[in-house]
């Protein structure tokens, strides 16, 4: 066991998978000698060499497009897109090819690729360095979308993603890259894709969240006198609705918390599925605490935008009043 | 200080067998043995016959949109002929002739355009990637495929095909930049057929050649007469050497012409002159090859009649095979999305014809009433 940050846990997962499987290659902008702008790939270039840890030209579509070819040829590429705001140029390759290749060729060609992407706000970064586009990719059939909220899960989920036979977008909440440490086993282990985690159990209300917002949910729960269950989704798609259903049927109340814009955010999907599965068990309407239908503000106002413990607490109180 | 030249260069244009039948012995001697020439010609004739029959299939409602290859047969065929059978061919959708040379069954191509994904379920032994509908995105896959082979220390290279319009797409430039700077053995093969649906090459590229686009990336560039299979073979030989022996990408611009419409959904008479089409018909790669074979005493009218019959029979048999394939199961909509189908997709599959997809039936009052009754 070692007490690691999320960055260190991801680095450890990469090291172990690269040692175990020669097919694994890392490519992206500044991932080599520099170790990535967040130092997630630190030390890998010296350890595994320039053939396996590759500084590419500055072109996101190129990074993903060549990774698709590498994956089709039998490699296990782990490309990094430096910030979620730069996924745009790679969108076509991700959604027109990576997501569709298995269906298009009836499995003659597949794309086992893990796209690592730092995501979300809260680090006082410039424009297009603080967005939360997970719902966009969850809406694209053929992609798995993962977002850990703790160092332990980050390591186990990344190993699962690299071994997965299909393309995975692995979102890393940059706000908690170094926010706290956690005991992380040095041995390899996996956390399954598609399974949520119950962070704390409760009887009166369920909070569903993912990524960095899980921390704010915990703060709100600590302030509250209610018995609240917190579910960290861990995987956005495929979603673990069974876990949510079991919890909401028990509590009858649910608040969904995410950083991404409210309208058509992934919370909307969850709320609908709760209605489909738990309608007769609901004591109150499902509440959402989310970002707004606006462009993510520059950092002077970003804390106004991000869901915080106050807003979550308000939502809890409102639906407890039903 | 005097002004000096930062760069001075040129691009070779290769023509060996021209439209008038002149053959450059110095360049063309021993490039393609006579017996192979006959096989190549036969492939072109069969491929042309497919265009003719596919057009009729589409018009009679037996097949969806189909892009004819007419006029461009020598390009992909010349390339496929020169590549090793284990080199990747990363095509778009006008390379049937080269794909057939690789042994890809004709019914696969038909099945694809008949709206069945199984047409793209291509046996990996052919080293051909699926038909790429989005324009100009597959060059990056070729770069990755060749990169993977290089990483594993294999001698395999990749050759990717695209049109002049695709050279306007960003991915084309990113692919050349990756391949050049990371020393990846890819051949970028541009079929400059003069038209991207209705838009002429001049709107895609105002430089004197499309070939010179490669120069900006430090890629070796060649231009050839794309209707001259000898010129295509000559360029490919040189390109394969650079790629395989030195990990250097090469860009080939094969100047050709799309004799047909863009697809069966298009009518090229709306935007191009008949004189232009007539000029290019006189440069038809099939006519050129036949005249050359006849001049060498390798071909005669009787052989042609036999070949025409063979082509008709081959295509007709492929159409019969394609049409006799059963419609896929509707479960196939769901079953190929992931290696392991997530529960939610399985539920949608299993309940696709009900009104309560994903719902728990025990919640529904009428259901409860029925159960109680």
Range of the domain at A302: 197-320
Strand locations in B169-227, DSSP E?
A: 186-192, 195-196, 199-200, 220-225
Element (H, E) at A79: strand A76-80
Residue B373 in this model has a pLDDT that exceeds 50: no
**Tokens in use for A191?**
């956390």
Is the residue at A275 inside a domain?
yes
Mutation target vs B (from A53, A63, A99, A106; most B CBs, 10 A cutoff) = A106
Q: Do B363 and A279 touch (CB under 8 A)?
A: yes
Neighbours of B170 (CB within 10 A): 14
- Quick one: B13 exposed, middle or buried, by C-beta within 10 A (0-12, 13-18, 19+)? middle
State whether A43 and A82 are in the same domain: yes
- Taking the C-alpha atoms of residue A200 and residue A77, their distance in angstroms, rounded to an integer, is 35
State whether A70 and A153 are in the same domain: yes
Residue B356 in this model has a pLDDT that exceeds 80: no
Question: Which of the following is catalytic: A124, A129, A258, A281?
Answer: A129
- Where residue B361 falls among pLDDT bands split at 50, 70, 90? low
Domain end residue (candidates: A125, A151, A184): A184
State whether A83 and A154 are in the same domain: yes
Identity of the residue in B118, B137, B332 whose CB atom sits nearest the CB atom of A65: B137
- Where residue B288 falls among pLDDT bands split at 50, 70, 90? very high
State whether A135 and A263 are in the same domain: no
- Taking the C-alpha atoms of residue A143 and residue A134, their distance in angstroms, rounded to an integer, is 11
Domain end residue (candidates: A150, A184, A218): A184
Per-window interface: B 328-347 vs A, CB < 8 A: 332, 336-340, 342-345
pLDDT of B347 reads 87
Backbone φ/ψ region at A313: left (φ over 0), alpha (ψ -120 to 50), beta? alpha
B327 at interface of A, judged by CB pairs closer than 8 A: no
pLDDT of B352 reads 81
Output the average pLDDT for chain B: 94
Residues of B in contact with A273 (CB under 8 A): 358
- Taking the C-alpha atoms of residue B118 and residue B105, their distance in angstroms, rounded to an integer, is 12
Question: Which of the following is catalytic: B43, B112, B248, B262?
Answer: B262
Beta bridge partners of A197: A232
Kindly report the CATH number assigned to the domain that includes residue A153: 3.40.50.970
Residue A259 in this model has a pLDDT that exceeds 80: yes
State whether A169 and A203 are in the same domain: no
Give, in order, the Cα–Cα distances in Å from A248 to each of A83, A279, B365.
Answer: 34, 10, 20
State whether A84 and A212 are in the same domain: no
DSSP A299: G
Give chain B's domains with CATH numbers: 12-324 (3.40.50.970), 332-372 (no CATH)
A311 at interface of B, judged by CB pairs closer than 8 A: no
Told to judge if B271 belongs to the known catalytic residues of this protein, a careful annotator would answer yes
Is the residue at A190 inside a domain?
no
Residue B55 contacts residue B49 (beta carbons within 8 Å)? no
Number of structural domains chain A divides into: 2
Per-window interface: A 56-95 vs B, CB < 8 A: 56-57, 59, 61-62, 64-75, 77, 89, 92-93
State whether A9 and A148 are in the same domain: yes
Told to judge if A258 belongs to the known catalytic residues of this protein, a careful annotator would answer no
Q: Do A142 and B149 touch (CB under 8 A)?
A: no
Q: Searching chain A, which residue's CA lies closest to the CA of residue B345?
A: A238
Is the residue at A191 inside a domain?
no
B175's CB contacts (< 8 A; 6+ apart) are A62, A65, A66, B139, B140, B142, B143, B160, B186, B188
How far does Cα B60 stand from its chain's mean position? 25
A285 at interface of B, judged by CB pairs closer than 8 A: no
A13's CB contacts (< 8 A; 6+ apart) are A154, A155, A156, A158, A159, A162
pLDDT of B365 reads 55
Q: Searching chain A, which residue's CA lies closest to the CA of residue B129?
A: A109
- Where residue B350 falls among pLDDT bands split at 50, 70, 90? confident
Element (H, E) at A115: strand A114-119
Summarize the confidence of residues B184-198 as an average pLDDT. Answer: 97
Q: What is the 3-state secondary structure (H, E, C) of A194-223?
A: CCCEEEECCCCEEEEECCCHHHHHHHHHHH
State whether A58 and A166 are in the same domain: yes
Distance of residue B144 Cα from the nearest chain A Cα, in angstroms: 4
State whether A180 and A217 are in the same domain: no
Neighbours of B21 (CB within 10 A): 11
Q: Searching chain A, which residue's CA lies closest to the CA of residue B108?
A: A105
A1 at interface of B, judged by CB pairs closer than 8 A: no
Question: Which of the following is catalytic: B258, B283, B288, B290?
Answer: B258
Q: Do B145 and A110 touch (CB under 8 A)?
A: no
How far does Cα B68 stand from its chain's mean position? 11
State whether A143 and A203 are in the same domain: no
- Which range among A145-154, B196-205, B354-363 shows the weakest confidence by mean pLDDT? B354-363
Summarize the confidence of residues B22-51 as an average pLDDT. Answer: 97
Summarize the confidence of residues B95-99 as an average pLDDT. Answer: 98
Is the residue at A246 inside a domain?
yes
Is the residue at A259 inside a domain?
yes
Residues of A in contact with B143 (CB under 8 A): 65-66, 69
Kindly report the CATH number assigned to the domain that includes residue A298: 3.40.50.920
A319 at interface of B, judged by CB pairs closer than 8 A: no
- A185 phi and psi angles, rounded to 5 deg: -60, 140
State whether A257 and A303 are in the same domain: yes
Residues of B in contact with A107 (CB under 8 A): 121, 336, 339
Render pLDDT for A162-209 as a digit per residue (tens, 0 to 9): 999 999 999 999 999 999 999 999 999 999 999 999 999 999 999 999
- Taking the C-alpha atoms of residue B356 and residue B372, their distance in angstroms, rounded to an integer, is 20
**Tokens in use for A316?**
């809890």
Render pLDDT for A17-76 as a digit per residue (tens, 0 to 9): 999 999 999 999 999 999 999 999 999 999 999 999 999 999 999 999 999 999 999 999
State whether A173 and A27 are in the same domain: yes
**Tokens in use for A156?**
């186990």
Is the residue at A189 inside a domain?
no
What percentage of chain B carries pLDDT values higher than 90?
92
B1's CB contacts (< 8 A; 6+ apart) are none
- Angle of CA points A163, A168, A171, to nearest 5°: 115
Is the residue at A82 inside a domain?
yes
Residues of A in contact with B182 (CB under 8 A): 54, 56
A205's CB contacts (< 8 A; 6+ apart) are A226, A227, A228, A229, A251, A253, A254, A255, A316, A319, A320
Domain end residue (candidates: A132, A157, A184): A184
B133's CB contacts (< 8 A; 6+ apart) are B93
Residues of A in contact with B360 (CB under 8 A): 276-277
């Amino acid at each position: 066991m070692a007490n690691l940050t999320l960055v260190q846990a991801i680095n450890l997962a990469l090291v172990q998978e690269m040692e175990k499987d020669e097919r694994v290659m890392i490519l992206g902008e500044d991932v080599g000698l520099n170790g990535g702008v967040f130092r997630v790939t630190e030390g890998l270039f010296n350890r595994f060499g320039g053939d396996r840890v590759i500084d590419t030209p500055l072109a996101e579509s190129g990074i993903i497009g060549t990774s698709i070819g590498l994956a089709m040829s039998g490699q296990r590429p782990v490309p990094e897109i430096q910030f979620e705001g730069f996924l745009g140029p790679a969108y076509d390759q991700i959604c027109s090819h990576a997501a569709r290749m298995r269906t298009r060729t009836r499995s003659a060609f597949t794309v086992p690729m893990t796209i690592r992407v730092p995501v979300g706000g809260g680090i006082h970064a410039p424009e297009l360095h603080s967005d939360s586009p997970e719902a966009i990719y969850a809406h694209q059939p053929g992609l798995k979308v993962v977002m850990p909220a703790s160092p332990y899960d980050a390591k186990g989920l990344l190993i699962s993603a690299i071994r997965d036979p299909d393309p995975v977008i692995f979102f890393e909440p940059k706000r908690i890259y170094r926010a706290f440490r956690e005991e992380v086993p040095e041995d390899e282990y996996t956390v399954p894709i598609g399974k949520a985690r119950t962070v704390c159990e409760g009887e009166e209300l369920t909070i569903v969240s993912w990524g960095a917002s899980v921390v704010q949910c915990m703060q709100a729960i600590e302030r509250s006198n209610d018995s609240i269950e917190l579910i960290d989704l861990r995987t956005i798609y495929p979603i673990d609705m069974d876990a949510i259903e079991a919890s909401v049927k028990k509590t009858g109340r649910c608040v969904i918390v995410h950083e991404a814009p409210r309208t058509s955010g992934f919370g909307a999907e969850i709320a609908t599925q709760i209605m489909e599965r738990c309608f007769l068990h609901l004591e109150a309407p499902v509440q959402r605490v989310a970002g707004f239908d606006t462009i993510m503000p520059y950092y002077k106002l970003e804390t106004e935008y991000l869901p915080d413990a106050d807003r979550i607490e308000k939502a809890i109180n409102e639906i407890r009043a039903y | 200080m005097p002004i000096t030249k930062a760069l001075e260069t040129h691009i070779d244009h290769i023509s060996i067998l021209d439209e008038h039948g002149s053959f450059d012995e110095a360049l063309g001697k021993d490039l393609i043995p006579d017996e192979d020439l006959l096989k190549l010609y036969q492939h072109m004739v069969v491929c042309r016959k497919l265009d003719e029959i596919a057009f009729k299939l589409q018009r009679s409602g037996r097949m969806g949109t189909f892009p004819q290859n007419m006029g461009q047969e020598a390009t992909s065929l010349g390339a496929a002929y020169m590549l090793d059978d284990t080199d990747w061919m990363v095509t778009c959708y006008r390379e049937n002739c080269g794909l057939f040379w690789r042994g890809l069954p004709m019914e696969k191509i038909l099945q694809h355009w008949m709206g069945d994904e199984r047409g793209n379920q291509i046996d990996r032994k052919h080293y051909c990637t699926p038909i790429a509908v989005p324009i100009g995105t597959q060059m990056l896959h070729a770069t990755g495929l060749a990169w993977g082979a290089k990483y594993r220390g294999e001698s395999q290279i990749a050759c990717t095909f695209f049109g002049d319009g695709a050279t306007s797409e960003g991915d084309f430039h990113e692919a050349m930049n990756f391949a050049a700077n990371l020393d990846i053995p890819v051949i970028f093969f541009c079929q400059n057929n003069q038209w991207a649906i209705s838009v002429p090459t001049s709107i895609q590229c105002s430089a004197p050649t499309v070939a010179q686009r490669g120069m900006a990336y430090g890629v070796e560039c060649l231009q050839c007469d794309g209707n001259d299979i000898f010129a295509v073979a000559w360029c490919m030989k040189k390109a394969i050497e650079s790629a395989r022996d030195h990990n250097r990408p090469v860009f080939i611009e094969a100047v050709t012409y799309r004799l047909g419409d863009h697809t069966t959904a298009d009518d090229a008479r709306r935007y191009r002159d008949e004189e232009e089409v007539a000029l290019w018909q006189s440069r038809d790669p099939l006519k050129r090859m036949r005249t050359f074979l006849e001049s060498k005493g390798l071909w005669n009218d009787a052989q042609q009649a036999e070949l025409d019959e063979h082509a008709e029979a081959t295509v007709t048999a492929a159409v019969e095979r394609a049409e006799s394939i059963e419609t896929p199961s509707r479960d196939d909509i769901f079953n190929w999305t992931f290696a392991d189908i997530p529960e939610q997709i399985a539920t949608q599959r299993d309940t696709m014809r009900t009104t309560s997809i994903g719902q728990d039936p025990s919640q529904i009052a009428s259901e409860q009433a029925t159960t109680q009754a």
